[in-house]
């Protein structure tokens, strides 16, 4: 069996030749459009070592059913028929032998075709472990999974919030909440999923009852500048940060903020707290992290100034380690409670980190400005590969489902993508394993892109 090398530069003409080689148009087992997409998704990651013509030649060799072979077989059959007409002395035994040989060849050809069809059908089934993409009516700025139900909220540029129910078969719009007059920049469910928090470029904050879609709490002039980030702390408290570096602490039982703090001159990019709810840590474009003591409602400590934007925060190692993503692509590690200066760092791809989420106690997934989602194992530090790639936009928001099996992502576009990450369960990385730059280009199962040589293992 010959391995296929596919070039992304392959033209549409070449692509349709592939369809003809595999006889897709006339195959009743598989829908034409579906198998066309499957061929593209499988072949798109299998190397760039050949041009389109050589790719097709290899496919023809693998398929064993090129048009030339079909024509040759037809010519042979015509010649045989003519010979039978001219020579009536051929015995019936010879005819029977020829028929058996023809049937044998046809059987072998059918077996080869069955192997190819089976491999494509298996590849299709891999795609059914996650919901289909959601196509929204407006641009999406932020997303949030419900902690218990198969429900996801999407904050739109026109101020509305869309609530979708999802499954592996379909995604359905269940509710549209008309929340804000301008871009809804952040949305987050409460821990029990009963409330939906949102904040907007129009400087307002809104809390909505999920079951009834009715307003529960509202402040139409919460900040002097547009709100950029929001973090739910517990059943009553939450925090917000704006474009001018101001952070406010709120209590649903009161109308006004219970704390307002301005220790930065730039946008507040992310916020995090742990189960103890003692500290609230937030990062900024200015290049520092700042910590508030939630018990005393005072500034706790501010870190050294870094020569890059600090964009995202995540907790690992049973909340003992704080991971900070940066515009350099570097990960900085802080011991929880010691936020003045990092205790360790790990250089990632030299591409800005836009957002980051913890998947396990040792694995984070980062979304980068190039639209690529990358997985990294921490303690020991090791790059794991590519979780997925946004086809046409950078990743601006990411969230993990309540059961930890799905990631959803969006850019400033009208599409929400899903990625199944269940394969991270139980993953163990040895300290002896070295980091290899090739791993940065390794496609993980959720990427739906095969690594070179993987596809035809299904036919072995």
Residue 120 lies in domain: 12-128
Q: Are residues 296 and 420 in the same domain?
A: yes
**What is the CA 438 to chain-centroid distance, rounded?**
20
Instruction: Identify the band that residue 236 occupies on the pLDDT scale cut at 50, 70 and 90.
Output: very high
Count up the domains in the chain and report the number. Answer: 2
Assigned domain for 2 exists: no
Judged against a pLDDT cut of 90, whether residue 238 lies above it is answered with yes
Residue 54 near residue 5 (C-beta atoms within 8 A): yes
What pLDDT sits at residue 140? 96
pLDDT tens-digit profile of 275-295? 999 999 999 999 999 999 999
* Domain finish residue from 128, 148, 181: 128
* 428 confidence band (pLDDT: 50, 70, 90): confident
Tell me the pLDDT tens digit for each residue of 49-59: 334 333 333 33
What is the per-residue pLDDT for 444? 74
| CA distance between the termini of the chain | 8
pLDDT band at 232 (very low <50, low <70, confident <90, very high): very high
Q: Is the pLDDT of residue 34 over 90?
A: no
The string of pLDDT tens digits covering residues 368-384 is 999 999 999 999 999 99
- Choice between 52 and 415, residue whose per-residue pLDDT is larger: 415
Q: Are residues 200 and 53 in the same domain?
A: no
Do 77 and 202 fall within a single domain? no
The whole-angstrom separation of Cα 364 and Cα 348 is 12
Question: Does the structure show a pLDDT above 60 at 424?
Answer: yes
pLDDT of 231 higher than 80: yes
End-of-domain residue from the set 77, 98, 128: 128
Separation of alpha carbons 190 and 56, rounded Å:
53
Let me know whether 73 and 173 are in one domain.
Answer: no
CB 156, CB 140: distance < 8 Å: yes
| Same-domain status, 269 and 416 | yes
165: which residues sit within 8 A by CB, 6+ positions away?
149, 150, 151, 171, 172, 174
Choosing from 128, 151, 167, the residue where a domain stops is 128
In this structure, the answer to whether residues 151 and 205 fall within a common structural domain is: yes
- Token pair, residue 276, equals 């103890």
| Structure confidence at residue 10 as a pLDDT band (50, 70, 90) | very low
List the CATH number of the domain containing 279: 2.130.10.10
In this predicted structure, what is the pLDDT of residue 283?
98
Per residue in 308-319, pLDDT (tens digit) is 999 999 999 999
Examine the domain organization and report whether 97 and 143 are in the same domain.
no
pLDDT the model gives residue 56: 38
Residues 291 and 275 in one domain: yes
What pLDDT score was predicted for residue 44?
42
In a domain, 5, yes or no: no
Q: What is the pLDDT of residues 392-408, one digit of tens each?
A: 778 999 999 999 999 99
Q: Average of pLDDT values for 155-163? A: 98
Q: Are residues 93 and 171 in the same domain?
A: no
Tell me, what's the pLDDT at 119?
A: 66
- CA–CA separation, 65 vs 63, rounded Å? 5
Task: Give all strands of the β-sheet with 215-219 in edge-to-edge order.
Answer: 184-189, 195-200, 205-209, 215-219
Average pLDDT, the chain: 79
183-213: per-residue pLDDT in tens? 999 999 999 999 999 999 999 999 999 999 9
Tell me if 17 is assigned to some domain.
yes
Q: How confident is the model at residue 71 (pLDDT cuts 50, 70, 90)?
A: very low
Rg (CA), the chain: 29
Q: Are 109 and 155 in a shared domain?
A: no
What is the value of pTM for the model shown? 0.71
Residue 212 burial (C-beta neighbours within 10 Å; 0-12, 13-18, 19+): exposed
In a domain, 4, yes or no: no
Q: State whether 273 and 339 are in the same domain.
A: yes
* pLDDT for position 237: 98
Say whether pLDDT at 46 is over 60.
no
Say if residues 284 and 310 touch (Cβ distance below 8 Å). yes
Other CB atoms within 10 A of residue 255 CB: 10
Say if 3 falls within a structural domain: no
Is 51 inside a domain boundary? yes
Instruction: Give domain status of residue 7, yes or no.
Output: no
DSSP state for residue 230 in the 8-state scheme: E
Which band of pLDDT confidence, cut at 50, 70 and 90, is reported for residue 272? very high
Matching residue, tokens 């039978």: 84
Q: Regarding predicted confidence, which is higher, 75 or 214?
A: 214
Asked if the structure places residue 6 within a domain, the reply is no
Average pLDDT over residues 92-115: 58
Using pLDDT thresholds of 50, 70 and 90, give the confidence band for residue 120. Answer: low
DSSP structural state of residue 101: H
Percent of the residues in the chain that have a pLDDT greater than 90, as a whole number = 61
For residue 319, count CB atoms less than 10 angstroms from its CB and return exposed for 0-12, middle for 13-18, buried for 19 or more.
middle
Q: Check whether residue 294 and residue 413 sit in a common domain.
A: yes
């Amino acid at each position: 069996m010959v391995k296929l090398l596919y070039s992304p530069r392959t033209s549409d003409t070449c692509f349709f030749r592939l369809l003809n080689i595999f006889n897709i148009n006339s195959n009743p087992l598989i829908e034409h459009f579906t198998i066309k997409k499957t061929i593209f998704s499988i072949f798109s990651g299998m190397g760039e070592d050949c041009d389109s013509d050589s790719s097709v030649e290899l496919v023809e060799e693998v398929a064993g059913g090129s048009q030339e072979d079909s024509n040759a077989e037809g010519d042979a059959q015509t010649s045989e028929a003519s010979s039978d007409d001219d020579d009536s002395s051929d015995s019936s035994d010879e005819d029977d032998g020829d028929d058996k040989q023809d049937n044998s060849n046809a059987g072998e050809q059918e077996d080869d075709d069955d192997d190819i069809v089976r491999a494509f059908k298996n590849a299709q089934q891999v795609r059914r472990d996650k919901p289909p993409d959601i196509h929204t009516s407006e641009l999406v700025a932020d997303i949030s999974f419900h902690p218990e139900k198969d429900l996801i909220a999407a904050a739109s540029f026109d101020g509305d919030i869309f609530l979708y129910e999802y499954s592996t078969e379909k995604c359905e719009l269940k509710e549209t909440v008309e929340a804000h007059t301008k871009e809804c920049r952040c949305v987050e469910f409460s821990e029990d999923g009963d409330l939906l928090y949102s904040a907007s470029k129009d400087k307002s904050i809104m809390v909505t009852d999920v079951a009834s879609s009715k307003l529960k709490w509202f402040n139409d002039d919460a900040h002097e500048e547009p709100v950029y980030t929001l973090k739910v702390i517990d059943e009553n408290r939450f925090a917000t940060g704006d474009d001018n570096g101001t952070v406010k602490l709120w209590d649903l039982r009161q109308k006004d903020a219970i704390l307002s703090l301005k220790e930065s001159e730039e946008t507040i990019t992310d916020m995090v707290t742990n189960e103890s709810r003692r500290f609230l840590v937030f990062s900024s474009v200015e290049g520092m992290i700042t910590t508030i003591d939630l018990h005393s409602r005072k500034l706790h400590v501010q870190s050294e100034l870094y020569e890059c934007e600090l964009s995202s925060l995540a907790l690992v190692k049973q909340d003992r380690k704080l991971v900070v993503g940066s515009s350099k692509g570097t990960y900085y590690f802080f011991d929880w409670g010691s936020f003045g200066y990092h205790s360790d760092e790990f250089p990632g791809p030299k591409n800005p980190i836009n957002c980051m989420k913890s998947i396990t106690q040792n694995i984070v997934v980062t979304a980068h400005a190039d639209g690529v989602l990358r997985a990294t194992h921490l303690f020991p530090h090791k790059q794991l590969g590519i979780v997925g790639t946004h086809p046409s936009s950078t990743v601006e928001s990411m969230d993990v489902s309540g059961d930890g099996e799905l990631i959803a992502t969006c850019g400033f576009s009208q599409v929400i993508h899903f990625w199944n990450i269940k394969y991270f369960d139980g993953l163990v990385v040895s300290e002896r394993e070295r980091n290899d730059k090739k791993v940065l280009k390794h496609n993980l199962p959720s990427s739906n892109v095969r690594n070179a040589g993987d596809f035809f293992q299904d036919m072995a």
